[in-house]
């Protein structure tokens, strides 16, 4: 089943734009092959890393969102392009002990974001992972503008 979720909450984004904007100086460099690995700061149950695989070649940087819950109040996942279409804010409901994988494919006219919230990981040996959802999120800086209408999002818990 194809899920396309586009939620544009202008009031929420306007109020939170300053706190959600990524800083280029904080962006980790891309690993070989368009891979980014971002430690998730909201971890309480083990080390969680958000893995991003950019197959488009458009992503210049990735940072964790400080408050992704502001984007995800009414859905499991959301992707929002900013006013100049050069930053995409992406947030989703993930697990407490699992490493999500975000895969980006396509081009600026047809940009597909695949989020696998529980791609890898799990609790450390001998520990249990609580059955709680944690909002996670990243901001993608892109080389070319990507309009909201061009974004397709598919989410797998």
Please give the sequence-ordered ranges of beta strands (E in DSSP) within 72-109, or none if there are none.
Answer: 77-81, 87-95, 98-107
What pLDDT, on a 0 to 100 scale, did the predictor assign at position 5?
A: 29
What pLDDT, on a 0 to 100 scale, did the predictor assign at position 18?
A: 36
Which structural domain, as residue segments, surrounds residue 90?
Answer: 10-156
What pLDDT, on a 0 to 100 scale, did the predictor assign at position 81?
A: 87
Please give the Cα distance from 48 to 68 (Å, whole number). 16
Residue 150 lies in a domain: yes
Number of domains present in the structure of the chain: 1
Please give the Cα distance from 140 to 118 (Å, whole number). 20
Residue 85 lies in a domain: yes
What pLDDT, on a 0 to 100 scale, did the predictor assign at position 112?
A: 97
Residue 63 lies in a domain: yes
- Judge whether 140 and 90 are in contact, CB under 8 Å: yes
Closest of 37, 40, 20 to residue 29, by C-alpha: 37
- pTM score of the predicted model: 0.74
Q: Spell out the per-residue pLDDT of the chain, length 157, in tens.
A: 323 222 222 222 333 333 334 443 344 445 556 889 888 775 555 677 889 999 999 999 999 886 655 565 656 788 888 888 999 999 888 877 788 999 999 999 999 999 998 877 777 677 777 777 788 889 999 999 999 999 999 999 8
Residue 2 lies in a domain: no
Residue 4 lies in a domain: no
What pLDDT, on a 0 to 100 scale, did the predictor assign at position 70?
A: 57
Closest of 108, 95, 103 to residue 134, by C-alpha: 95
């Amino acid at each position: 089943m194809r899920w396309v979720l586009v939620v544009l909450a202008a009031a929420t984004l306007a109020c939170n734009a300053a706190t959600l904007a990524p800083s280029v100086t904080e962006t980790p460099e891309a690993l070989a092959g368009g891979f980014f690995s971002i430690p998730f700061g909201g971890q309480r149950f083990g080390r969680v890393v958000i893995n991003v695989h950019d197959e488009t070649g458009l992503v210049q940087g990735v940072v964790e969102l400080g408050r992704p819950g502001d984007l995800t109040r009414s859905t499991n996942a959301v992707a929002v392009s900013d006013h100049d279409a050069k930053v995409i804010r992406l947030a989703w409901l993930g697990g407490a002990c699992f490493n999500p994988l975000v895969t980006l494919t396509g081009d600026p006219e047809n940009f597909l974001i695949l989020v696998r919230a529980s791609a890898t990981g799990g609790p450390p040996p001998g520990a249990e992972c609580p059955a709680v959802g944690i909002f996670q999120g990243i901001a993608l800086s892109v080389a070319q503008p990507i309009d909201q209408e061009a974004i397709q999002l598919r989410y797998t818990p």
